[in-house]
Every structure is written in structure tokens, then in C-alpha cells.
């Protein structure tokens, strides 16, 4: 049985990754999960300088999901390079660094800073719904997405994954723009913009008023978008959005993803990623699947 | 002082007993290995079984019985998750993540005059603190009305002074009013309760030039320091975040009042 997948020339021991922002830089979950078991750790977004993030409350639970408006709080690339990369290097797993910024130059600064670092891939966050500048602004208009993707590709030493927002009219337009600009892979979906109001206090549940919805509640939307994007582009896709167990993960693979990422469910079950790795193996055994890569896009039309 | 140098884990705890002790307030004893590592001011996070409620609920540890391997949680029904916990009977299991956070600095205050203050659902964690502290203890408890809870348990560990908002028992007002009326002085204050109470304590401690340790609360998602949902503003740049934010679940929930901007 072969659980390896290859994306943009990088081989992963299995297709299970962590979704950015839900797993820190791995340290916080190393009490629960043997990081050596994971295909990759995708880090919390990192910017050129430290960001304080949004006021609290930053999180709110919703039916089968949650809203967050953390606002990309991060310690900045210097601390990240000194502390988080050496931590992750102790493990036999791939390192994908999620990069965020307010301007294109911010992104480029981080990308260049990482160029000589032992990092396997870069994931560019052009889809965070919770910051006022940058981020999602680059990911909601095909022209802007094309521009930032090509500028990053010009400088990046590692393969580039563009992380797409579901908060668009047509996901295939964005997928095609990123591919045309040279993106090596896509990851989707980021969170869906949502809102919650506390009717007793007549207040917004989040200080930011709006937040990104994640968790099992968004899974059907995510599966649909992965399927659409997979039919629109030739580059590989990392699928995510509400994956709670191995069955969900396989669903994303069948829809067209080459790998999957586990996000909010880490909060509901800190062992989720490792259990999904095992569950995919069990699925392969049960159905006699020799290569996990054969599952990608294998839904019967 | 309980702290996080022990490995955190998610376990199945067995409910030993459960009873309602005041309006919406429940008292649950759990049998769990987590008791061995638990200390005053730390907390656990309990996962509802209902899959539509995704996130674990952070609940402070009210009492620890290390010998029997038991934890006592006294909590208020605040929504679907805690309503589910209140339905558990003895023999049921609860999914518990722990032990989380850093507790009160107990050794630091040994032998000194410590005023322990608890307000409302901030009272439960003060019981284990009162039990563990080897100091000259004075305990101030603030309630909304005569629907008191844990006051008898507290009385075993120090003199208890009560304040109620409606004046039905003890001093009318809050714990700070009780402190003044009873003319109590302190070398150190340790407190948990609503934010206005904690702000008043911080201000009082600064005016008096005394130490104060306060336990903070915030909406949490992961409970283990990954999601950055539960931060509070800090006076100095935090060593982990490198901004003026500390994670309540990990650096807290107990902070030196002078170090947080509340």
C-alpha cells in the first residue's frame, strides 16, 4: 500500500496536512500527535513583522462549526525562522509555511526571507476574511490574484501554493488565474465569511462583527469547490473545509484533491490528524486501493 | 503551583456524582487520571458529546482529590454544552482535556496575609486555592442574591465574608465593598470573577502597592495555545507571541494583575 503523494515535485509520506492557523507551528499539538505521522505541518500565517491580531472575542461556536476572527496574530518572520522552523525540523514531516501580508511587498519580504530556509513549500494566504488590508483583497479579483501570484513566483525558491477564498462568485476563475500566473498548487477552501449575534445581549458574538466559518458545517461547500477547481485547472489541489474524519478526507480526494488539510476539527479532537492518517489506510485496505494517489478525482461521473 | 510542564491529554473521565447546588449551578465530581497533575487555578476543557457543539468548554478546577484520583467541577449552565454536562449522572463518561493553564503561585505567598476573592461563577477555583494555601487566609465571596453556593466548603479553610448585590446576605454590594466594610488588609490578593470586579481589584492593589493575582476568562477554541482565540492584552511584549498579547489558556489563566491590561 502506497500512501505517498507528490505535489509540485515534493513528496509527502501521506496526504494528511494541518490547515493553517489551527495547529500553531506544531508545538502546541505535539503533546497529542506524533508529528512524524503527518504528511505536512502547515504553519500559522506569518508576516514580515509581528501582528497583534484583532480584539476579543475572537471565536464563537456555531451549529456544527465555529467563527473566528483572530486577525492573523503572528510573531513575525524573524521569530518564526529562529524558533518555529528549528522545532519542526526535528520531525520527519514536510514543512509548509503560510505567508500573509498587507501589501505585495510584505509578502515578498517573507518569501525572500524563507528562500534559504529548510521549508518545503509556501502557502500564500490571499483569503483571510478577518484583516482590513491585504489578504483577501488579493484573492477576490482574478486580476489581483494573477498579479500577486506572478510576483511571488518570480521570487520564491520553494513551490508556491495559493490558498483560495470561497467568498467569490466563481471559484474556477480564481483557480485559473492562479494557475496562469504560475502557481504550483492550490489549497481551498479558506473560511466562509459569517456572522453571529447574541440575541440576549444584542451584541455581535465577535468583536470583529464578521468572522470566518469553519468546521463540519462548511464541508459540502468545500467539496463542491474542490471538485469545480479540479476540473478547471491541471495543478494539484489541497482540499480542506470541515474535514472531521477519514471518510471526509477520502471524499475530498475523490472530488479531485491530491492531499487534504484538517482545520477546526483539531480543536474538537486533538488526535484528529493522526486518526485520519490511520483511517485513510483502513479505507485503502477495505477497498483494495494500492496507491492513495489513485483516489484523486476518482468519483464516478 | 500547578503548571504545564506535564503532558496534556484528552481522556474519558467517569462521573462520580452530580448535583445542582444553586440556580443553574452544578457540582460534578469526575474520576480521572488528570487529578494527579491538577492544581489550584488550573482548568480542564470538557467536550460535549453532541457533535453539533464542536468546541471544548473551559471549566476551572474547583477541588482536587489526588488520592482518589478525582476532580470537582462546579460550573454554570451557559448554553448547550454545559446543559449537556448537567445531564450527566454517575457512571456516565465525560471527554476531558487537561490539565490546562498555569495556576496560582501558591508557594510564593506562604505565611502571608492572603485575601481570596471570588465573584459568582469565579468562586469555584478559589476553593482548591483556599485548601492548598498555607497562609493567613481571608475569603470574600460575592453573589447576586441569597442563592449561595460553596460557602460552607470555603469556611473549612478560612474566615468567610459574604457580599450580595441585593444585600440579602452579608454586605450589600460586591467583594470590594465587603473588603472595606470589614476593614480587611492584605499582603496579597488572589481573585477570580467578572471583569469589573477584577478591574477594581487591580486598581486597589496598585493603590495599596500590594500583589494581586487574577484568573481571567475568554472565549476559547483549542484550549492548548494553538488558535490564539483567547488572548488578553499585556503590559509587556509576550515571550511567545512577540506582541502585547498573552494566551489565557497557556500563559494564564492566572496572571499578575500588573502584567495584564484589562
Same domain, yes or no: B33 and B86: yes
**C-alpha distance from A143 to closest chain B C-alpha (Å):** 32
- Does any domain span residue A300? no
Contacting B residues, span 56-85, partner chain A, CB-CB under 8 Å: 56
Question: Please, what sign has the CA dihedral across residues B1, B5, B10, B16?
Answer: negative
| Residue A128 falls in the annotated catalytic set | yes
Domain count, chain A: 1
Residue range(s) defining the domain that contains residue B24: 9-100
The nearest alpha carbon in chain A to B229 belongs to A58
Radius of gyration for the alpha carbons in chain A, expressed in angstroms and rounded: 18
The answer to ipTM > 0.85 is yes
| Residues of B in Cβ contact (< 8 Å) with A32 | 8-10, 224
* Cβ-based contacts under 8 A for chains A and B: 112
pLDDT in the model for residue B7: 86
Q: Is the pLDDT of residue B158 over 90?
A: yes
The nearest alpha carbon in chain A to B99 belongs to A31
* Degrees to nearest 5, angle at CA A52 with B256 and B7: 55
| Residues of B in Cβ contact (< 8 Å) with A51 | 243
Domain count, chain B: 3
Written as nine digits, the cell of A152 is: 511571488
Q: What is the DSSP string of A215-275?
A: SGGGHHHHHHHHHHHHHH-SS-EEEESS--SHHHHHHHHHHT-SEEEE-THHHH-TTHHHH
CB contact (8 A) between residue A76 and residue B242: yes
Q: What is the mean pLDDT of residues B147-168?
A: 98
CB contact (8 A) between residue B243 and residue A264: no
* Chain centroid, CA A14 distance in Å: 16
pLDDT in the model for residue B2: 47
> Could you tell me the pLDDT band of residue B4, with boundaries at 50, 70 and 90?
low
pLDDT in the model for residue A135: 65
CB contact (8 A) between residue A75 and residue B47: no
* Interface contact B231, partner A, CB < 8 A: yes
The nearest alpha carbon in chain B to A272 belongs to B10
* Interface contact A89, partner B, CB < 8 A: no
Q: What is the mean pLDDT of residues B147-161?
A: 97
Same domain, yes or no: B144 and B232: no
Could you tell me if B246 and B240 are in contact, meaning their C-beta atoms sit under 8 angstroms apart?
yes
* Interface contact A143, partner B, CB < 8 A: no
Residue A277's φ and ψ, nearest 5 degrees, are -55, -50
CB contact (8 A) between residue A53 and residue B54: no
Same domain, yes or no: B203 and B220: no
| Residues of A in Cβ contact (< 8 Å) with B230 | 56, 58-59
Q: What CATH number did the domain enclosing B255 receive?
A: 2.10.240.10
CB contact (8 A) between residue A70 and residue B225: no
Same domain, yes or no: B176 and B128: yes
Q: Which of A67, A128, A161, A264 is catalytic?
A: A128
Q: What is the mean pLDDT of residues B171-187?
A: 97
pLDDT in tens, chain A (301 residues): 999 999 999 999 999 999 999 999 999 999 999 999 999 999 999 999 999 999 999 999 999 999 999 999 999 999 999 999 999 999 999 999 999 999 999 999 999 999 999 999 999 999 766 666 666 778 889 999 999 999 999 999 999 999 999 999 999 999 999 999 999 999 999 999 999 999 999 999 999 999 999 999 999 999 999 999 999 999 999 999 999 999 999 999 999 999 999 999 999 999 999 999 999 999 999 999 999 999 999 999 9
pLDDT in the model for residue B215: 98
CB contact (8 A) between residue A64 and residue B226: no
| Residues of B in Cβ contact (< 8 Å) with A265 | 54
Q: What CATH number did the domain enclosing A37 receive?
A: 3.20.20.70
Q: What CATH number did the domain enclosing B76 receive?
A: 2.40.30.10
Q: What CATH number did the domain enclosing B183 receive?
A: 3.40.50.80
Amino acid at each position: 500500500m502506497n500512501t505517498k503523494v507528490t505535489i509540485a515535485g515534493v513528496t509527502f509520506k501521506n496526504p494528511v496536512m494541518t490547515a493553517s492557523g489551527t495547529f500553531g507551528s506544531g508545538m502546541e499539538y505535539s503533546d497529542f500527535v506524533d508529528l512524524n505521522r503527518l504528511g505536512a505541518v502547515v504553519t500559522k500565517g506569518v508576516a514580515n513583522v509581528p501582528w497583534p491580531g484583532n480584539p476579543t472575542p475572537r471565536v464563537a461556536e456555531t451549529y456544527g462549526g465555529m467563527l473566528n476572527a483572530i486577525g492573523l496574530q503572528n510573531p513575525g518572520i524573524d521569530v518564526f525562522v529562529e524558533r518555529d522552523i528549528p522545532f519542526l525540523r526535528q520531525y520527519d514531516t514536510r514543512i509548509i509555511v503560510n505567508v500573509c501580508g498587507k501589501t505585495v511587498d510584505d509578502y515578498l519580504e517573507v518569501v525572500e526571507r524563507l528562500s534559504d530556509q529548510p521549508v518545503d513549500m509556501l502557502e500564500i494566504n490571499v483569503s483571510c476574511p478577518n484583516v482590513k488590508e491585504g489578504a483577501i483583497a488579493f484573492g477576490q479579483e482574478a486580476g489581483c490574484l494573477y498579479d500577486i501570484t506572478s510576483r511571488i513566483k518570480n521570487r520564491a525558491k520553494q513551490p508556491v501554493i495559493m490558498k483560495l477564498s470561497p467568498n467569490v462568485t466563481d471559484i474556477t476563475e480564481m483557480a485559473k488565474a492562479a494557475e496562469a500566473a504560475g502557481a504550483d498548487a492550490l489549497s481551498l477552501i479558506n473560511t466562509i465569511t459569517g456572522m453571529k449575534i447574541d440575541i440576549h445581549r444584542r451584541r455581535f458574538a465577535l468583536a470583529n462583527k464578521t468572522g470566518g466559518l469553519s468546521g463540519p458545517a462548511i464541508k459540502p461547500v468545500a467539496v463542491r469547490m474542490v471538485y469545480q477547481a479540479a476540473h478547471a485547472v491541471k495543478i494539484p489541489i489541497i482540499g480542506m473545509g470541515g474535514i472531521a474524519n477519514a471518510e471526509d478526507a477520502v471524499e475530498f480526494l475523490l472530488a479531485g484533491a491530491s492531499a487534504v488539510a484538517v482545520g477546526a476539527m483539531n480543536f474538537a479532537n486533538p488526535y484528529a490528524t493522526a486518526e485520519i492518517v490511520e483511517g485513510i489506510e483502513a479505507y485503502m485496505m477495505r477497498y483494495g486501493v494500492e496507491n492513495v494517489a489513485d483516489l484523486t478525482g476518482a468519483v464516478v461521473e | 503551583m500547578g503548571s504545564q510542564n506535564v503532558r496534556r491529554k484528552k481522556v474519558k473521565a467517569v462521573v462520580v456524582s452530580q448535583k445542582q447546588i444553586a440556580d443553574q449551578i452544578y457540582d460534578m465530581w469526575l474520576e480521572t487520571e488528570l487529578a494527579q497533575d491538577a492544581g489550584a487555578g488550573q482548568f480542564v476543557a470538557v467536550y460535549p458529546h453532541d457533535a453539533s457543539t464542536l468546541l471544548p468548554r473551559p471549566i476551572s478546577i474547583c477541588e482536587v482529590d489526588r488520592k482518589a484520583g478525582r476532580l470537582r467541577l462546579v460550573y454554570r449552565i451557559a448554553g448547550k454544552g454545559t446543559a449537556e454536562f448537567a445531564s450527566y449522572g454517575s457512571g456516565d463518561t465525560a471527554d476531558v482535556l487537561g490539565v490546562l493553564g498555569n495556576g496560582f503561585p501558591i508557594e510564593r505567598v506562604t505565611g502571608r496575609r492572603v485575601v481570596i476573592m471570588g465573584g459568582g461563577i469565579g468562586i469555584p477555583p478559589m476553593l482548591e486555592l483556599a485548601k492548598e494555601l498555607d497562609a493567613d487566609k481571608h475569603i470574600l465571596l460575592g453573589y447576586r442574591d441569597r442563592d449561595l453556593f460553596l460557602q460552607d466548603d470555603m469556611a473549612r479553610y478560612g474566615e468567610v465574608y459574604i457580599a450580595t448585590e441585593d444585600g440579602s446576605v452579608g454586605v450589600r454590594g460586591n467583594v470590594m465593598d465587603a473588603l472595606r466594610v470589614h476593614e480587611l488588609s492584605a499582603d496579597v490578593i488572589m481573585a477570580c470573577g467578572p471583569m469589573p470586579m477584577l478591574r477594581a481589584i487591580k486598581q486597589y492593589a496598585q493603590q495599596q502597592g500590594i500583589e494581586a493575582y487574577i484568573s481571567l476568562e475568554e472565549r476559547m477554541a483549542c484550549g492548548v495555545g494553538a488558535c490564539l482565540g483567547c488572548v488578553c492584552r499585556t503590559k509587556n511584549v509576550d515571550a511567545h507571541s512577540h506582541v502585547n498579547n498573552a494566551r489565557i489558556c497557556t500563559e494564564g489563566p492566572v496572571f499578575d494583575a500588573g502584567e495584564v491590561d484589562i
